[in-house]
Structure 1
Amino acid sequence: MKLDEFEIDDVFTTPPNKISEEDIINFAQEFDPQYMHLDKEKATQGRFNGIIASGIHTLSISFKLWIEAGKYGEDVIAGTHMNHIKFIKPVYPEDELYTKIKVLKKQATKRDQGLLTVLLSTFNQYEDKVFEGELTALLSR
């Protein structure tokens, strides 16, 4: 969709994505090698009672789900920034995450392009919000 096709307060909901323990460990080994993402025994003794996904992993899944929704399509030029990133609740192996995307702002910057800001809110299968963040991208108009 082009920038001008989005309306303020539009809401889109993605299909769910199940996260496995293997997914969590593989991501953490490469990008966030902390014990709560890698060491099942030590993580079980900690505050989360088991391995949890990295917040960066949860953010990445949220972004992936939004992109896979196909709303930007070929009209996206580039992401420009993210704001107000919040890791609200832990994500555990076998959680099914989906993301609701709400259009917050759109602003023309040139005759043929502009900025779109959306709020990504990601939930697990229990309807608990686990992540929230604003994403701004440069789109064709």
Structure 2
Amino acid sequence: MTVYYEDVEVGTVEAHGDYEVTREEVLSFAQQYDPQWFHTDPDRAAEESPYGGVIASGWHTAAMTMRLLVESQLADAATVGAKGVDELRWLVPVRPGDTLRIENEVLEKVPERPERGLVRARTRTYNQDDEAVFSMIGNVMYLRRSDE
């Protein structure tokens, strides 16, 4: 079933997961997109960084969050992109071996045009210890039903 703007309810909270973070993925993403040493050099990071080991790039954490969001919610939604994100926060480092899950809470709906509306939702990502590691508010455009 396709989820349209009219189907989304403010206050709805949905939880989804699990995504296992691998060492290989952390290193590969960082080498390509965020090649800072504490993301790419496990030996040096273990010895010299305040994190005590290699950590995922924050942008990688955002990408993993997006994957969980698409797989669990947006794949069946009549979305046509987003206008951006607000309050993007990296709260706790994500490490190889972590297992991530998300909670998505619909905060607001704004009817923008006859053919679409904006849905603002807070997405929080948690690790296996229920620590919030990431948070953002997405501004997602949903199509409206043409027969209403």
TM-score by length of 2: 0.92
Which residue pairs with 2:18 in the alignment? 16
Match of 1:92 among 95, 98, 110: 95
- State whether residues 2 and 72 of structure 1, in contact with CA within 8 Å, keep that contact through their aligned partners in structure 2: no
**Structure 2: stretches of 5+ with no match in the other structure:** none
For residues 74 and 10 of structure 1, do their structure 2 counterparts lie closer, same or farther at Cα, with a shift above 3 Å needed?
closer
Q: Within 5 A, what are the aligned runs for 1:31-70?
A: 31-44=33-46, 45-70=48-73
Q: Report the equivalent of 1:82.
A: 85
How many Å separate the matches in 1 of 2:103 and 2:85? 16
Question: Is the Cα contact below 8 Å between 1:119 and 1:135 reproduced in 2?
Answer: yes
Q: Percent identity?
A: 26
Counterpart amino acid of 1:30? Q
Matched position secondary structure for 1:30: helix
Match of 2:132 in 1: 129
With 63-72 and 13-22 compared, the bigger mean Cα shift is at 63-72
Match of 2:7 in 1: 5
Structure 1 residue runs of 4 or more that deviate by more than 3 Å after TM superposition: none
| Count of aligned pairs | 141
Aligned match for 1:29, one of 6, 24, 31: 31
Larger Rg: 2
Normalised by the length of structure 1, the TM-score is 0.96
Q: Which amino acid aligns with 1:100?
A: E
Please, what is the CA RMSD of the aligned residues?
1.0
**In the alignment, is residue 111 of structure 1 matched against residue 114 of structure 2?**
yes
Deviations 1:14-65, CA, capped at 9 Å, x for gaps: 1210000101001001110000110011111210000000000001111110
What is the Cα deviation at residue 76 of structure 1? 0.6
Cα distance in 2 between the residues matched to 1:27 and 1:5: 36
Q: Match of 1:16, SS?
A: strand
Distance change in 2, residues 1:66/1:103 (3 Å): same
Q: Distance in 2 between matches of 1:126 and 1:78?
A: 32
- Match of 1:103, SS state, is strand
